[in-house]
Amino acid sequence: MTYHRLQILESLSNLDSQQAEKVLEYIKGLPLKARDEEKYRMFKHQAMNEIRMALTNEQLKATF
């Protein structure tokens, strides 16, 4: 694990200022992406539950 960190630090030191700025912006955006993905997973889960309930209700109506 430490070896990988050293490799990352070494590669970062080889970047010019524009590249370093892009990397920094990407790193700062990671928590936002994680939140967006969590929102998406929750939305998808809720949607699938609603679809499942709707299908179950339709099946109940069809059997009567």
Q: What is the pLDDT of residues 11-56, one digit of tens each?
A: 878 888 888 888 888 888 878 777 888 888 899 899 888 888 887 7
Contact indicator for 12, 23 with CB cutoff of 8 Å = yes
Other CB atoms closer than 10 Å to residue 33's CB: what's the count? 10
**Amino acid, single-letter form, for residue 14:** N
Q: In Å, how far from its chain's centre is CA 51?
A: 23
- The set of residues, in sequence order, having a beta carbon less than 8 Å from that of 23 and lying 6+ positions away, is 12, 15
Could you tell me which residue, 59 or 35, shows the higher pLDDT?
35
pTM above 0.85? no
Sign of the torsion angle spanned by Cα atoms 42, 43, 46, 49: negative
